């Protein structure tokens, strides 16, 4: 009897300790958030005062900090949640800033902007009850269309390195395809389906093991939070509310580029990591597909797509910061 009582009290003490330790993990994203804000200030400061390598160093720090979330994910379930939260800090900051902006425009728009993340994250949680196979099929089916759009979209941004006129010419040609009354609503619907099924899969895999599986879920979650903010910024804030031309100048925060205002600097890790997350997620999906076919090339293809993603993202970031078309104003 005595032994049973001791065992029960030991068990409840262990549970309480585990609970406290679980909550403590969430101090990690909080600390990263506070240091991340300083890293953003450091980018603005160095860009205004020193320029050169120190700006690059500050940018690398701001980009690297959220990624440290990957290092804690394998510890436990609360640690995994805290890690995912750390990774999505850049789009969360931008999304909340965007919501405040939309909020000033009145209740109708606020409702619309708030409902996007609620539908995506609430709906994804509800859908996680569906069988995994159904979710996976929905996720794969929508991925292709979205992937084609994003590839064309990112290639379009590379043209800004040449000139704003070249970016505009490619964007105008692409808009004929994606900005008409059939494709655009379809694209938004596919986007929502992709995000819903992705969040549901991430939720179902909450006991996921292995670094690459965590990377796959983390990059998908980054893209989801990014898109909630990015599509609200372009379609709602930019086009519907401000009737602004949502071109490269809109994305770069004006002709001076992302380095020249405190607000715009927050978009540096946001855009860079979104583009890297897209390639990381696509590369991970290709790897799984090749592994299913027992191809020996699976890991090499994954690494190649990731490296291509980093290169493309650096070039787009350079263009957004003023290298190429922006600096020449043409």
Question: Which residues of this chain interact with ligand HEM, rule CB under 6 A?
Answer: 150, 153, 157, 171, 175, 178-179, 184, 187, 191, 223, 227, 230-231, 234, 246, 250-251, 271, 274-275, 278, 316, 320
- 3-class state of residue 21 by DSSP: helix
CB of residue 153 to ligand HEM, shortest distance in Å: 5
CB of residue 293 to ligand HEM, shortest distance in Å: 26
CB of residue 87 to ligand HEM, shortest distance in Å: 15
128's CB contacts (< 8 A; 6+ apart) are: 135, 199, 200, 201, 203, 204
Judged by beta carbon, residue 79 or residue 223, the one nearer ligand HEM is 223
Residue by residue, DSSP assigns 277-326 as HHHHHHHHHHHHHHHHTT-TTHHHHHHHHHHHHHHHHHHHHHHHTTTTHH
Surface-to-core class of residue 160, CB atoms within 10 Å of its CB (0-12 exposed, 13-18 middle, 19+ buried): buried
Judged by beta carbon, residue 82 or residue 283, the one nearer ligand HEM is 283
Identify the helix (H) or strand (E) that includes residue 252: none
Judged by beta carbon, residue 218 or residue 231, the one nearer ligand HEM is 231
Cα(64)–Cα(42) distance, rounded to whole angstroms? 14
Cα(271)–Cα(222) distance, rounded to whole angstroms? 11
Paired tokens of 129 = 């009850």
Judged by beta carbon, residue 114 or residue 174, the one nearer ligand HEM is 174
CB of residue 150 to ligand HEM, shortest distance in Å: 4
Judged by beta carbon, residue 82 or residue 315, the one nearer ligand HEM is 315
CB of residue 149 to ligand HEM, shortest distance in Å: 6
């Amino acid at each position: 009897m005595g032994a049973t009582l001791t065992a029960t009290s030991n068990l409840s003490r262990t549970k309480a300790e585990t609970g406290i330790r679980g909550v403590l993990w969430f101090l990690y994203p909080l600390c990263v958030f506070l240091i991340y804000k300083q890293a953003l200030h450091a980018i603005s400061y160095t860009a205004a005062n020193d320029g050169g390598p120190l700006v690059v160093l500050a940018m690398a720090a701001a980009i690297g900090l959220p990624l440290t979330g990957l290092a804690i994910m394998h510890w436990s379930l609360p640690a995994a949640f805290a890690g995912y939260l750390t990774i999505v800090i850049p789009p969360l900051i931008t999304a909340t800033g965007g919501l405040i902006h939309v909020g000033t425009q009145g209740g109708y728009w606020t409702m619309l902007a708030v409902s996007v993340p609620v539908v995506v994250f609430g709906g994804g949680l509800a859908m996680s009850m569906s069988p995994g196979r159904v979710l996976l099929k929905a996720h794969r089916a929508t991925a292709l269309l979205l992937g084609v759009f994003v590839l064309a979209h990112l290639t379009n941004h590379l043209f800004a390195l040449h000139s704003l006129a070249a970016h505009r010419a490619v964007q105008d040609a692409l808009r004929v395809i994606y900005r008409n009354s059939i494709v655009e609503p379809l694209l938004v619907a596919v986007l929502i389906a992709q995000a819903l099924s992705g969040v549901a899969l991430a939720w179902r895999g909450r006991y996921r093991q292995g670094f690459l599986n965590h990377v796959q879920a983390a990059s998908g979650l980054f893209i989801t939070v990014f898109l909630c903010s990015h599509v609200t910024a372009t379609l709602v804030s930019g086009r519907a509310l401000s009737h602004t031309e949502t071109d490269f100048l809109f994305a770069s925060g004006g002709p001076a580029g992302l380095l020249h205002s405190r607000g715009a600097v927050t978009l540096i890790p946001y855009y860079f990591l979104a583009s890297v997350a897209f390639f990381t997620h696509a590369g991970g999906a290709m790897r799984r597909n090749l592994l299913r076919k027992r191809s020996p090339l699976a890991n090499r293809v994954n690494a190649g797509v990731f490296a291509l993603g980093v290169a493309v993202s650096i070039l787009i970031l350079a263009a957004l910061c003023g290298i190429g078309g922006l600096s020449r104003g043409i």
